[in-house]
Chains A and B, each alone.
Chain A
Amino acid sequence: MTISIRSVEKKFGRYPALNQVDLEIADGELVALLGPSGSGKTTLLRTIAGLEFPDEGQVLFENEDVTFASAAARRVGFVFQQYALFKHMTVAKNIAFGLDVRKGKDKPNKAEIARRVDELLKLVELDGLGKRYPSQLSGGQRQRVALSRALAVQPSVLLLDEPFGALDATVRKSLRKELRRVHDATGVTTIFVTHDQEEALELADRVAILNAGRIEQIGTPDEVHDHPATPFVCGFVGEANRFEGVVSGQRFTAGPVVLAAPNAPDGEAVAFVRPHDLVLDAAGFPARVERVVIQGPLANIDASLPDGRRIDISVARDEAVQFTGEIRLSARRTHVFGV
């Protein structure tokens, strides 16, 4: 199922939640909508689902306009942030709900529904828990029930709103892999919302980064990380040191910091340097090491510039010994944006 979002706008009162959003999603893709809270990512997901309706623009499924079609007509599977499991129904009843509500010849018979429920429970590794109630499950198990409930209707597209937001770190990681596995097994076009960049970069084929109701950049995880299109993306995805300064003759200067800025036009600019892109260089700008923190294979170095500002440097643990006292640095790669 291909999905196209064309010039969608949505306001809540006076507050613009979505502002001229365009997005094309290919069949079978796994796409992450990444952004800070209030960026419009959940509104966009709900607009695709048919749970919100845009003020302007179109939503197309397979080139068919579904802008004002109901969620049910779109055959979407939606996994809610807090799962929205029906508290008074068993796990099996929850999963069967989408099949139970069908009418006439579309409705599978009881045995067929039971078989499908078992299949889905197996898919999310919850065999044997069909008779439990949601309150008797752990957070991770509830999440899996929500996922299989959404899959039960064989949706044309699977939509997940912060699917791992309510879980602790270890469960989160294993469920991430699980979602990828389920996606690959079913091949269903999948879109999920997250504010966690690590989750988006690890899981998704492509990442759409939203800010203030606009899509800032859409691309593969390495594209958005290595070639950020806007200052926002650069600051939001991955760690970065931010400098405000001036470009003149392909050189960016901000106080004591001087960085190469090839192809950047002259004028005021902001520059971002990833901590792992900073290297020792006798011809570079001066800094002083304040503290070295070893984190597993990496060393994070807290350094200060002559004007008192702090910068973060990240190197392999073995190289950390070279970072003592006064050092000189240069950047392997700099992202410069005109202001």
Chain B
Amino acid sequence: MAPFGARRRILDDDHPMTAETISMSRPPAARRPLFRRRSALPGFGLTLGVTLTILSLIVLIPLSAIAIKASSLSPAQFVAAAFSERAIAAYRLSFGAAFVAAVINGVFGVLTTWALVRYDFPGKSVVNALVDLPFALPTAVAGIALATLYSPNGWVGQYLTPLGIKAAYNPVGVTIALTFIGLPFVVRTLEPVMRDLSADVEEAAASLGAGRIDTILRVILPALGPAWLTGFALAFARGVGEYGSVIFIAGNMPYKSEIAPLLIIIQLEQFEYANAAAIALVMLGVSFLMLLIINAVQAWSRRFS
């Protein structure tokens, strides 16, 4: 039998390892490397070093420059610059329009994703590719195109004017531009989740007697919730900071249709660097907050998967 043979082989070994021989033959321990080896794969120190260096030089240090510049203001000056009436009007427009645009995208993004994932229709692949157009198209191009379309004598604008809707050069125009910018965020965040929704769950709901509407409202939409919220937050965050596509269609009237990023540029052109930094700091604060919210939503949604 194999086990017996095996045992004999061990006993017959030229160097039987008894407790004594082990202690006598213990070789000197290898010198510990200066940095404990963590991984068998090489290049960790180098690549992490390069990553952190570039990240610091390109992102972290320049970002801190804004905080440092803004801190050259006294608290009263900071409030005067960052929360002047004109600045507050600009925030209200940037945040408000970004919110409305994200809501619009939230609704039509779900419809679009649903159609792309569930239905077959002619030209589907073209529609699918077009959804990413806002990622690929320079924002300035989108800006002048939308301004031309929605201006009072533009292709679309001429039909809106008789209805009393003034789209371009108005907060409505800002919202239109931000809707363009935000659409792919909602669709591309929802798409993988909707694709992974297994048919079983819907079939199970149907087999339990739920009607189609019930199934959609009580089974499908709740499952999309976290992804929808993430897409919404991404679209909103992008909209708040958006500049290129907005300035052409906004009209840029102080207190009325002037977005926050534009106000930064105006301050900069007047050489009010610290004031520009103060407004930028407020916007950065909101960006970080949005980032935290998005991360929290994603951590929360992971609990369900």
- Chain A minimum-CB-distance residue to B2: A205
Instruction: Please give, as numbers and ranges, the residues of chain B lying within 8 Å of A4 by CB-CB distance.
Output: 17, 22
**Cβ-defined contact, A64 with B13, below 8 A:** no
Please encode chain A, from 218 to 243, with 1 for each CB lying within 8 Å of some chain B CB and 0 for all others.
00111100000000000000000000
Residue in B7, B15, B27, B29 whose beta carbon sits within 8 Å of that of A220 in the complex: B7
Nearest CB of chain B from residue A178's CB, rounded to whole Å: 16
Interface size on B, residues (CB 8 A): 24
Residue in A26, A55, A63, A220 whose beta carbon sits within 8 Å of that of B3 in the complex: A220
Q: Report how far A66 CA is from B25 CA in the complex, Å.
A: 15
Q: If the complex has contacts A27-B13, A53-B36, A205-B9, are A65 and B30 also in contact, measured as CB distance less than 8 A?
A: yes
**Cβ-defined contact, B10 with A26, below 8 A:** yes
Q: If the complex has contacts A66-B30, A69-B30, A220-B3, are A28 and B9 also in contact, measured as CB distance less than 8 A?
A: yes
Instruction: Please give, as numbers and ranges, the residues of chain B lying within 8 Å of A220 by CB-CB distance.
Output: 3-4, 6-7
**B40 contacts A by Cβ under 8 Å:** yes
**A133 contacts B by Cβ under 8 Å:** no
**Cβ-defined contact, B33 with A68, below 8 A:** yes
Please encode chain B, from 22 to 37, with 1 for each CB lying within 8 Å of some chain A CB and 0 for all others.
1001111111110011
**A289 contacts B by Cβ under 8 Å:** no
**Cβ-defined contact, A67 with B3, below 8 A:** no
- Chain A minimum-CB-distance residue to B31: A68
Q: Report how far A66 CA is from B15 CA in the complex, Å.
A: 19
Q: How large is the interface on A (under 10, 10 to 19, 20 to 34, 35 or more residues)?
A: 20 to 34
Q: Report how far A30 CA is from B13 CA in the complex, Å.
A: 14
- Chain A minimum-CB-distance residue to B16: A26
Nearest CB of chain B from residue A137's CB, rounded to whole Å: 26
Instruction: Please give, as numbers and ranges, the residues of chain B lying within 8 Å of A206 by CB-CB distance.
Output: 6, 10
Nearest CB of chain A from residue B258's CB, rounded to whole Å: 51
**A29 contacts B by Cβ under 8 Å:** yes
**B38 contacts A by Cβ under 8 Å:** yes
**Cβ-defined contact, B40 with A70, below 8 A:** yes
Q: If the complex has contacts A205-B6, A220-B6, are A65 and B37 also in contact, measured as CB distance less than 8 A?
A: no
Q: If the complex has contacts A205-B2, A220-B6, are A58 and B13 also in contact, measured as CB distance less than 8 A?
A: no
Q: Report how far A70 CA is from B6 CA in the complex, Å.
A: 31
- Chain A minimum-CB-distance residue to B36: A53
**A40 contacts B by Cβ under 8 Å:** no
List, sorted by A's number, 8 A–B pairs whose CB atoms are closer than 8 Å. A4-B17, A24-B17, A28-B9, A49-B40, A55-B36, A205-B2, A205-B6, A205-B7
Interface residues, chain B, CB within 8 Å of chain A? 2-4, 6-7, 9-10, 13, 15, 17, 22, 25-33, 36-38, 40
Q: Contacts A2-B15, A70-B40 known; list 6 others, CB within 8 Å.
A: A26-B17, A50-B40, A53-B38, A63-B27, A65-B29, A68-B31
